[in-house]
Amino acid sequence: MNIFRTYLFLFFSVLFLNNSTAQINKQQQLEEKRQAILKEIKQINNLLFKAKKEEKSVLSQVEDLNSKITARQNLIRVTNQQANYLSREINNNLAKMDHLRGELKELKEDYANMIVKSYKSKSQQNRVMFLISSESFLQAYKRLQYMKQYAKHRKLQGESIKEKTVALQELNQGLIDDKKKKKTLINENKVAKTKLSKELQTQNDLIATLKKDEGKYASQINKKQKEAAKIDKEIDKLIREAIAASNRAKAKKNGTKVTSSETFTLSPEAKLLAADFTKNKGKLPWPVKNGVVVKRFGNTRHPQLPNVTTYCSGVEIATGNNTKARAVFNGVVLNIQKIKGANNAIFIQHGNYITVYQNIKNILVKKGDKVTTKQELGTVYTKSSGKTILKFLVYQNNKKMNPASWVYKM
> 154 with 301, same domain?
no
d(CA 34, CA 201): 24
Longest dimension (CA), the chain: 109
Closest CA to 200 of 293, 58, 38, 70: 70
The pLDDT, as a whole number, for residue 256 is 82
d(CA 21, CA 34): 20
> 375 with 389, same domain?
yes
d(CA 333, CA 136): 93
> 267 with 201, same domain?
no
In the chain, how many domains are there? 2
Look at residue 137 and tell me if it is in a domain.
yes
> 181 with 233, same domain?
no
The pLDDT, as a whole number, for residue 129 is 59
Helix, coil or strand: residue 53: helix
The pLDDT, as a whole number, for residue 85 is 85
> 159 with 264, same domain?
no
Look at residue 410 and tell me if it is in a domain.
no
* Domain end residue (candidates: 151, 185, 212): 212
Full residue range of the structural domain in which residue 34 is found? 3-212
Look at residue 228 and tell me if it is in a domain.
yes
> 162 with 127, same domain?
yes
The pLDDT, as a whole number, for residue 87 is 84
The pLDDT, as a whole number, for residue 16 is 53
> 27 with 62, same domain?
yes
Strands 353-361 and 343-350: antiparallel
Look up residue 288 and give its DSSP letter.
Answer: S
> 219 with 143, same domain?
no
> 65 with 144, same domain?
yes
Name the residue type at position 134.
S
The pLDDT, as a whole number, for residue 270 is 93
The pLDDT, as a whole number, for residue 397 is 95
> 156 with 226, same domain?
no
Which ranges of 51-136 would DSSP assign to H, the alpha helix? 58-120, 124-132
* Domain end residue (candidates: 195, 212, 229): 212
d(CA 348, CA 350): 7
CA-CA-CA-CA dihedral for 351, 352, 357, 362, to nearest 10: 40
Kindly report the average pLDDT of the chain as a whole number: 82
> 47 with 36, same domain?
yes
Q: Which regions in the chain score pLDDT beneath 50? A: 1-2, 53-54, 123-125
